[in-house]
A and B are shown apart, each in its own frame.
Chain A
Amino acid sequence: MVEAAPITYKLDEYLKDIVQAVYSACAVGTAHVKDDPKAVDQALQDCEEVLGTVMEGHVEEWLE
């Protein structure tokens, strides 16, 4: 059986938070497409920021 790496739990928690943040931002953005362009812009920026951080891939910093 494959043993979980020591960082797996923390990494899992971090990524769960990240996915929830992107999901929430998308939900708010899509809910306001017709009535609040500022909210949509903000949601897009937030998604970009979160995904940009993940793409940079500094895993050690995520686990600090």
Chain B
Amino acid sequence: MHVVVCGKVIPDSSVTLQIDPDTKRIQRKDLPHELDPAAASAVEEALRLTEAHGGTVTFVTMGIADATIGIRRALAMGATAGVHLHDEAFAGSDTIGTAKALAAAIKRLPAFDLVICGTESSDSYSGIVPVQLAHFLGLPPLTFAKQVSVDGSTVTVHRQSETGYTVVKAQLPALVSVTSGINEPRYPQLKGIMAARKIEIQAFRAGDLGLGPSDVGSNAARERVLTVGAPPERAAGRVIQDDGDGGKQIADFLASIGVI
């Protein structure tokens, strides 16, 4: 089977993100980047499926030049091919533009059986791209999967819910978005690192995908971020001294704010 994984390469988690006050976008230039942990979980799930059933994994991402660091990481984990959508024309794309570009690239790859995404990226958390991508590819979206299995031409997922999970099935090809807790992504081993360095990353520009300014980029974006601000400072907590009636004081306090 051929599994395509779509994921993001994001600023390293050790970096404090800054927002450009004019564009309201995350400032990514000159920051160290890494494979989004959500994308790493998606790669891991794809690798487990292809190890069980045979096949290949292609990792696809859209991003700045430094995104190759994350692509190399996915390849070092065991993905067989990497695709990089890299073009200034993509800058400022909203989620629909991003999904449109990813879909156009995936349609140019060898036939696939399954597309796997993280539920949401760990930098912007929109969580919308997977279902938009499914729409543009004409696939059934199976979201919030905390377990994925394939049997013949059927994919089955345990879909996380507030009270437990729902079992959902679909015929392949399909798109699955996985939760971050679905697995513990493997770390690249030396052999994988060396093998990854020999794999040529396939690059697509917007024009290669038949996309123009009305499809991708800031001019095509229908979403606009109007304001970005720091959350309000939290008020200091209240310390209760337990002089034998601590429990009552806590209960009284909770009652006073309507929690109990």
Which positions in A face B, CB cutoff 8 Å? 14, 16-18, 20-21, 24-25, 27-28, 46, 49-50, 53
Contacts and interface: CB of A to CB of B under 8 A. Distances in A.
Contact of A18 (B72, B73, B193): B193
A43 B95 CA distance: 38
B29 to A, nearest CB: 18
Contact of B188 (A14, A21, A27, A53): A21
Given A17-B72, A17-B76, A24 B188 contact: yes
A22 B9 CA distance: 20
B190 interface: yes
B20 interface: no
A36 to B, nearest CB: 10
Contacts, number: 30
B219 interface: no
Contacts of A50: 190
A41 to B, nearest CB: 14
A6 B189 CA distance: 27
Given A17-B76, A20-B73, A28 B187 contact: yes
Nearest to B76: A17
B193 A21 contact: yes
A46 B76 CA distance: 14
Contacts of B197: 14, 17
A12 B193 CA distance: 14
Secondary structure dominating the interface of B: helix
A46 B190 contact: yes
Interface in B148-200: 184, 187-190, 193, 196-197
Contacts of B184: 28
B187 A53 contact: no
Contact of B187 (A14, A16, A18, A25): A25
Contacts of B69: 16
A34 B174 CA distance: 39
Contacts of B196: 17
B215 to A, nearest CB: 33
A25 B185 CA distance: 11
B58 to A, nearest CB: 20
B255 to A, nearest CB: 40
A13 to B, nearest CB: 8
B190 A49 contact: yes
A18 B196 CA distance: 12
